[in-house]
Structure 1
Amino acid sequence: MKTHTDAPDAETAPQSGKVDFLASLKLVTGALHTQRGRILVSIGLATLSVLLEVLPIWVIYKLILMITSGQATQSAFWLHVGLMAVTIPVGYLCFGLATRLSHVTAFNLLYGLRMRLARHLAKLPIGYFSNMRSGRAKQTMISEPEKLELLIAHAIPEGISALVSWVIVTIWLFAVDWRMALASVILTPVSLGIMSLAIRISYREASAMQDANVKMNESMVEFLAGMPVIKIFGHTHLERQDTAKAVTRLADVQSEMGRAFVPLGGTFYALILANITVILTVGVWLLYICQIGLGTLLFFVILGANYSTPLMRLFDLFHHFAHISLSATSAREVLDQLPQHDSQQHLPITTHDIVFESVNFDYGGGEVLNDVSFSASAGTVTALVGPSGSGKTTLATLIPRFYDVTGGRITLGGQDVRDMALDQLMDCVGFVFQDPFLFTATISENIRYGRPDATDDEVQDAARAACAHDFIMALPDGYDTVIGQGAQLLSGGERQRISIARAMIKDAPVVILDEATAFTDPDSEAEIQQAIKVLTRDKTLIAIAHRLHTITEADQILVLDCGRITERGRHTGLLAKGGQYARLWQDYTLSQSTPLRQKEDLP
């Protein structure tokens, strides 16, 4: 038998306490070749702008030499002034063009990264997303990639140009006078070492800050989503919410990182700017002993004093670079997840029988299903019942491979579901969720999602079969009515019927129902039950049931408890046994007949 492996879920994603300062760069390096031309031109223009920025200093230096040597003329003066008048605006023009190109490159790469994330997420097991909270999803898909704009649009062109200009200026200084050049650069190695130490010390709390940032995002989203509950219970004061604690925690961690950085970071900025004191001290002494001229001293005062500017720009970019790399960990972890195994083989299937053979499953924290075996013949109804937490939903979700089994196997038409191509498996299975999800789109588009090539007549036929056509036509725009978050609101029963219509138009031979009538009113329940009968006719049906009266005609009922099948059979036979199913039925019928208040409790 083939060996199959699972991809870890969102909660078991690998975490590392060590900060990878190149994480952000690794995210985009794979796509840099697609923008190579723009990047190279942008770097070239940025470097040219820096060189043109340095050129006026050379012009001033030459003028000073001519003046001190008595060789200055009016024509030479105006020639040099004219040269500066041309180079300065050209330098700014080059910088503007470089910035424009780098931003276009950044937006193209961010688009590519988001599409790469989306495509990779689509290849992960569906169960992966059950543990991904909306705040983390937003951070992974929106917030973190957006921060890479600074890296691509600024750090690459400006950083490389700053490095090039620093190297050129360093060579130039040593070419003019090596002694003054040493005076200009002597504090640089010390400054670099101090800054490196400052970053290392401050980023010891990097993992804590990342965790606090994720929790704050999640808490904010939860706070807004839960506003109706918060208001109805009178907890509108933000300070009473966990959100306030999450915000405070992030602020505390960031403050701690700031306090760790400031002593050495401040020393770096002080030293990097202090080279002018060394230049003046050494320069005045060399001028006094007639080792250099006044022009050379002025040259080093002007250029040497600005020697640190490219370095400060580089370290400022590196500091942001490190912060962005810290933020890029969630996106990197998603891309590091192994995609769900897909054989991409379309295997021959003659029937649509479903067979569980000694299936075991766990989420990584204890076994949820243990030695589960049963057969569901094609065209029959199999109902799953049991107390909460017994493993019903887990069992059902293993069929379409929301997760992969950790032991045993599941076959569809005699083929292991893990050996089937994922698209073949998905074509075979329809799923009606307990809480239906509808996209922010028209009703027609939501139904057609089950089969994108369906005609308008087929969409309406599916809606009629799902008992949804009448209420759809009563809406302002009928099938063109936009529904979803922030749009036209529908009742729970109406949303469920649209989801059933979507499953109907897919027309999959295997249908899984996750208690589709759990939250509906009696009228809606009757219509939904009628729709389900049409949907599941001549299909293999696996139904998770809490309302036991809906499965009295099932071909087989499986009773689960603590991840095991404890009873199996038909409704009447299981009642006659007087076992766990009989007790569940008794509790269910009693709950249906119990009023909210007993007669003796009424005034």
Structure 2
Amino acid sequence: MIRSLIRLVPADARGRLTTYVVLSLISVILRAASALLLVPLLVALFSPHPADAWPWVGALTAVTAGGWVIDMTLARIGFGIGFTLADTTQHAMANRLTETPLRWFTADNTATARQAIAASAPDLVGFVANLLSPFLGALLLPAAITVGLFLVSWPVGVAAAIALPFMLGALAASQRLVRTADAADAAAHSALTERLVEFARTQQALRASRRVTAARSQTGEAIGAVRGATQRLLLFQIPGQLLFSVASQIALILLAGTITTLTLRGDLGAPAAVALTIVMVRFLEPFTVLADLSGAMESSRGLLDRLNIVTSAPLDTAATGRPVPGGESHAPRIEFRSVGFGYGDTEVLRDVSFTLEPATTTAVVGPSGSGKSTILSLIAGLHTPLRGQILVDGTDITELDVEARRALVSVVFQHPYLFDGTIADNIRVGHPDAGDDTMHRAMALARVDDIVERLPDGALSKVGEAGTALSGGERQRVSIARALVKPAGVLLIDEATSALDTENEASITQAISDDPHQRTRVIIAHRLDAIRNADQVLFVDGGVIVEQGAIDELTTLGGRFAEFWRQQQTSAGWQIAADAPGRV
């Protein structure tokens, strides 16, 4: 756990951490000394010359006062380190996650990141300031007292040296019994958190399917799993507590028996025996503190582990920092060479090769799950190929500067996400430095101006969290404007008009074509109007390109795309006819 803490401490705070550790050691030594000074003090007090006790009283006072000063300094430094850790780790996690490959964001890793970010600040401050000092003190104080006992009464020191590893071993064994159950309990609570978030977000669907009660959903199963894991955790604590209790009693008997034997043999006087009994209590007391702190320390250990998982998450393939040839705003030539990619053990693309000529429009069509969106993700740099190459104007995309690569591409997702702000704010996300003229042109192209004209606050109208104040079609229009306002040389469109009616789809498709910015466009669509003006078509099925060419070529070929085109034309002519008179 200490190693996990050290890895999180920034370099400029390592000096303070070293000072903290050194002062903690001094504090332990002073507390051990204050306990051991009772032996000569009581011996002198009950000697024929009680006044000889005054120097020992002075020494005890000085040691105690020094301990107070050290402890106050430790508290101040601890809070400073805690706040520094809280600030730096949150920034480190935020920066790390923006550079982590999307494949890292599994359900488990996403839950770990959410818990680490949500709990890191208060828990880190509390851990360093309120837990670490008592824990280090309780861990080191018995050892310091043991060393001092050899100077006061070596037989008692030997007894303490035997009891020390015995007690620490019993404490470690009891914690080991609990750790497995605690990990299962933490996993169950993590799953419950995910299910509760999902339960809150899917109320509309749950109510429509009459599964609104938690007991009738996956949330109920997660609650049951948490209850079982908590019960197992409590049950596993019982043998650990018994083991530690038995070890404490054995250590007490060993120390008390040693002191009693020495007293009966005349090797210890009554005052020294009483003082050593007090020291014995001070020797055993920290183990109780360690047992009491063990639960909180285990939770802190879990927090530190989660923080280290996030801050050490893998980074995207290291780029050489090469700029994009021709700049980010020009329409590049993009080439796939035998590209292969998959998620986990599932292969999605196999030996995919094609070329996108500059300033052309390419339509990617095919059945669901064929790999269309994955092609767009690879072009956007959201993933890197497992095999093969993606070249941008002849340069491998993995060799390009990360920021330049991101500036090169603008994306319209099938399910756009809008941030809780105004319509204008959400559009400017694509290009924060865009001028008013650029903004208005993008809004007009995406037909967002139709939306803002009917809203009382116009472009300053709030869209709500995730854009809930707008309809699905309106959210897609805003996302299209956000993509068009960005001066990127590549425009990727993933079912951008799926939530629009036929008339609006046609107008948006025409608007994208009318975009004055020269771009290399790639469009995924299932409707004719969206791809009718494409320069070439890639028909993808099963992770491979089965047909490739211009629309006229493929329709003449009479293959998979021709069948798709025929079905689309047929469905486009469907009409709902009124029933004949007299029919029901």
TM range (shorter): 0.7 to 0.9
Partner residue of 1:39 out of 2, 12, 17: 17
CA offsets, 1:354-384, max 9 Å, x none?
A: 2223333232424322332322222221111
1:65 aligns with 2:43: yes
Q: CA deviation at 1:463?
A: 2.5
Partner residue of 1:122 out of 98, 113, 127: 98
The answer to whether the 8 Å contact 2:178/2:233 transfers is yes
Query: Within 5 A, what are the aligned runs for 1:454-603?
Result: 454-472=434-452, 474-485=454-465, 489-522=469-502, 524-535=504-515, 538-591=518-571, 599=579, 603=584
In the alignment, the residues of structure 1 paired with residue 178 and residue 520 of structure 2 have an alpha-carbon distance, to the nearest angstrom, of 60
Paired position in structure 1 for 2:225? 249
Q: CA deviation at 1:429?
A: 1.6
In the alignment, the residues of structure 1 paired with residue 382 and residue 11 of structure 2 have an alpha-carbon distance, to the nearest angstrom, of 36
1:362 aligns with 2:362: no
Partner residue of 1:405 out of 370, 373, 385: 385
Q: Give the direction of change, closer, same or farther, for the CA distance of 1:149–1:245 in structure 2 (3 Å limit).
A: farther
The answer to whether the 8 Å contact 1:42/1:99 transfers is no
The answer to whether the 8 Å contact 1:47/1:162 transfers is no
Moved more, 93-102 or 394-403: 93-102
Paired position in structure 1 for 2:368? 388
Q: Give the direction of change, closer, same or farther, for the CA distance of 1:586–1:322 in structure 2 (3 Å limit).
A: same
The answer to whether the 8 Å contact 2:177/2:236 transfers is yes
The answer to whether the 8 Å contact 1:126/1:401 transfers is no
The answer to whether the 8 Å contact 2:159/2:255 transfers is yes
The answer to whether the 8 Å contact 2:79/2:125 transfers is yes
Amino acid at match of 2:439: V
In the alignment, the residues of structure 2 paired with residue 179 and residue 373 of structure 1 have an alpha-carbon distance, to the nearest angstrom, of 81
Please state whether the residue corresponding to 1:307 is helix, strand or coil: helix
Q: CA deviation at 1:574?
A: 3.5
Q: CA deviation at 1:572?
A: 4.4
Q: CA deviation at 1:60?
A: 5.2
Q: Give the direction of change, closer, same or farther, for the CA distance of 1:89–1:474 in structure 2 (3 Å limit).
A: farther
1:344 aligns with 2:331: no
Query: Within 5 A, what are the aligned runs for 1:407-446?
Result: 407-446=387-426
Paired position in structure 2 for 1:310? 286
Query: Within 5 A, what are the aligned runs for 1:64-463?
Result: 64-72=42-50, 91=67, 94-129=70-105, 135-143=111-119, 147-149=123-125, 151-204=127-180, 208-209=184-185, 211-272=187-248, 275-314=251-290, 317=293, 320-334=296-310, 335-349=312-326, 352-463=332-443
Moved more, 94-103 or 378-387: 94-103
Q: Give the direction of change, closer, same or farther, for the CA distance of 1:452–1:183 in structure 2 (3 Å limit).
A: same
Q: CA deviation at 1:295?
A: 0.9
Moved more, 220-229 or 265-274: 265-274
In the alignment, the residues of structure 1 paired with residue 5 and residue 514 of structure 2 have an alpha-carbon distance, to the nearest angstrom, of 49
The two structures have a TM-score, normalised by structure 2, of: 0.86
Q: Give the direction of change, closer, same or farther, for the CA distance of 1:130–1:553 in structure 2 (3 Å limit).
A: farther
In the alignment, the residues of structure 2 paired with residue 189 and residue 130 of structure 1 have an alpha-carbon distance, to the nearest angstrom, of 42
In the alignment, the residues of structure 2 paired with residue 309 and residue 104 of structure 1 have an alpha-carbon distance, to the nearest angstrom, of 29
Amino acid at match of 1:529: T
Please state whether the residue corresponding to 2:380 is helix, strand or coil: coil
In the alignment, the residues of structure 2 paired with residue 116 and residue 364 of structure 1 have an alpha-carbon distance, to the nearest angstrom, of 27
In the alignment, the residues of structure 2 paired with residue 494 and residue 34 of structure 1 have an alpha-carbon distance, to the nearest angstrom, of 49
Q: CA deviation at 1:317?
A: 4.7
Q: Which runs of 5+ in 2 are unaligned?
A: none
Amino acid at match of 1:109: L
In the alignment, the residues of structure 2 paired with residue 56 and residue 325 of structure 1 have an alpha-carbon distance, to the nearest angstrom, of 32
The answer to whether the 8 Å contact 2:335/2:354 transfers is yes
CA offsets, 1:154-200, max 9 Å, x none?
A: 45433333444333322222222122333445433222222333333
Q: Give the direction of change, closer, same or farther, for the CA distance of 1:472–1:117 in structure 2 (3 Å limit).
A: same
Q: Which runs of 5+ in 1 are unaligned?
A: 1-21
Q: CA deviation at 1:543?
A: 0.2
Q: Give the direction of change, closer, same or farther, for the CA distance of 1:50–1:125 in structure 2 (3 Å limit).
A: closer
Q: Give the direction of change, closer, same or farther, for the CA distance of 1:289–1:348 in structure 2 (3 Å limit).
A: closer
Q: Give the direction of change, closer, same or farther, for the CA distance of 1:425–1:185 in structure 2 (3 Å limit).
A: closer
Q: CA deviation at 1:541?
A: 1.0
Amino acid at match of 1:346: P
Amino acid at match of 1:496: Q
In the alignment, the residues of structure 2 paired with residue 250 and residue 340 of structure 1 have an alpha-carbon distance, to the nearest angstrom, of 39
CA offsets, 1:300-347, max 9 Å, x none?
A: 111111202234434555664444434544443441424323121125
The answer to whether the 8 Å contact 1:134/1:218 transfers is no
Identical-pair percentage: 29
In the alignment, the residues of structure 2 paired with residue 408 and residue 486 of structure 1 have an alpha-carbon distance, to the nearest angstrom, of 36
Q: CA deviation at 1:106?
A: 1.3
Q: CA deviation at 1:448?
A: 2.2
In the alignment, the residues of structure 1 paired with residue 453 and residue 77 of structure 2 have an alpha-carbon distance, to the nearest angstrom, of 51
Please state whether the residue corresponding to 2:149 is helix, strand or coil: helix
Q: Give the direction of change, closer, same or farther, for the CA distance of 1:28–1:501 in structure 2 (3 Å limit).
A: farther
Count of paired positions: 579
Please state whether the residue corresponding to 1:467 is helix, strand or coil: coil
Please state whether the residue corresponding to 1:192 is helix, strand or coil: helix
Q: Give the direction of change, closer, same or farther, for the CA distance of 1:367–1:58 in structure 2 (3 Å limit).
A: closer
Q: CA deviation at 1:527?
A: 4.9
CA offsets, 1:559-589, max 9 Å, x none?
A: 2221222223444443444432233234435
Q: Give the direction of change, closer, same or farther, for the CA distance of 1:487–1:448 in structure 2 (3 Å limit).
A: closer
Please state whether the residue corresponding to 2:318 is helix, strand or coil: coil
The two structures have a TM-score, normalised by structure 1, of: 0.83
Amino acid at match of 1:25: R
CA root-mean-square deviation: 3.6
Please state whether the residue corresponding to 1:370 is helix, strand or coil: strand
Paired position in structure 2 for 1:18? none
The answer to whether the 8 Å contact 1:43/1:158 transfers is no
The answer to whether the 8 Å contact 1:63/1:72 transfers is no
Please state whether the residue corresponding to 1:441 is helix, strand or coil: coil
Q: Give the direction of change, closer, same or farther, for the CA distance of 1:353–1:501 in structure 2 (3 Å limit).
A: same
Q: Give the direction of change, closer, same or farther, for the CA distance of 1:442–1:183 in structure 2 (3 Å limit).
A: same
Paired position in structure 2 for 1:12? none
Q: Give the direction of change, closer, same or farther, for the CA distance of 1:598–1:331 in structure 2 (3 Å limit).
A: farther
